[in-house]
Amino acid sequence: MFGMFGAFDPRFYPKIAKQSIGRSIGFLTVFVLIVAACVSIKYTSVVFSGFTVAKKWVHDNIAAIAAEYPAVSVEKGVLVEPKQAFIKEYGKQLTVVIEPNPENVRATMDKYQNVALLTQKELIFKQMKDNSGAEEIKTYPTEKATFSIAPGASGFKLIFEQKQFELTAQVISRWIDIVGLFVFPVLLIIWFLVYCFTKPVHVFIFSLVSLIITSILKVKLSYKELWNIGAYALVPATCLAAFMDILGLRILFFPLFYCLAYSVYLYLGINAVSAPESSSKA
């Protein structure tokens, strides 16, 4: 943790320049874990806000949605109920159709751009791709499946073989809460893996900048020293990027500012490390 704060002070760099690369890698690992945790907290709050909106929407709408649908029953892969066609349109985004008459399936497919269609023996999804006019159709035979979907006052009851499930506001909210328990750990792992890959790559790429700086300052430092300096000089730029991300701030050409901040601290670090050598030579 001290190294994280020390990285902002150029006078700190002579203390870490000659340490082992393994120690710098250990520091970088801990640092990216801390940054990943901070960024994950931000995105966890965003996800939880979405969950809150989703639970409210389900609570306000699922009963009304259930009231609009007929009971559906499939026995051994064959649609038994409903006997009559059912159509529910959700604008141009999606149309849900139950069509027990095989003769009307083709006409239904041609009529709607985006449709979920349950036929006598198949479940078909059709989706239009962008504005190109191309369509994607996926067909799933119901085969020997036996299930039923029964709408009720508070939602749906689903029966698959001998298993029953209720799809109500309370059940959905409970599942959302369960999923919520895994949001932060999953995001933390994802961001940690991303940073564990990208940050060492940044140190490696900016080693070229370090070599240019040593050439300008006319000093000789080993690659180990340059790598150690690069690992710690990465801290201010990364903290700036994380801070901007957490606050939701967007700056045009920010990658340029990131590279500039990193390069400045590389210069300050290399200059601070080389200063004692220059003094001793004098």
State the pTM of this model.
0.78
In this structure, the answer to whether residues 187 and 260 fall within a common structural domain is yes
Residue 76 forms part of a structural domain? yes
Fill in the amino acid letter for 225. Answer: E
Please say which residue of 177, 198, 216 terminates a domain: 177
Domain that includes residue 227, residue range = 2-49+181-281
Q: Could you list the pLDDT tens digit for every one of the 282 residues in the chain?
A: 556 788 899 999 999 999 999 999 999 999 999 999 999 999 999 999 999 999 999 999 998 888 888 999 988 888 889 889 999 888 878 899 998 888 888 888 888 888 898 988 888 898 877 666 678 888 888 888 888 888 888 888 888 877 888 889 999 999 999 999 999 999 999 999 999 999 999 999 999 999 999 999 888 889 899 999 999 999 999 999 999 989 888 888 889 999 999 999 999 999 998 875 544 443
Please say which residue of 155, 177, 199 terminates a domain: 177
* Interstrand relation of 115-118 and 94-98 (parallel, antiparallel or unpaired): parallel
Is there a cis peptide before residue 82, judged by omega within 30 degrees of 0? yes
Tell how far CA 15 is from the center of its chain.
Answer: 38
Our count of domains for the chain comes to 2
In this structure, the answer to whether residues 104 and 153 fall within a common structural domain is yes
Is there a cis peptide before residue 100, judged by omega within 30 degrees of 0? no
In this structure, the answer to whether residues 151 and 213 fall within a common structural domain is no
User: Are 119 and 105 within 8 A, CB to CB?
Assistant: yes
DSSP letter at 151 equals: E
Report the pLDDT value the prediction gives residue 44, as an integer from 0 to 100. Answer: 96
Residue 200 forms part of a structural domain? yes
In this structure, the answer to whether residues 67 and 43 fall within a common structural domain is no
In this structure, the answer to whether residues 193 and 273 fall within a common structural domain is yes
Structure tokens at 280: 């001793």
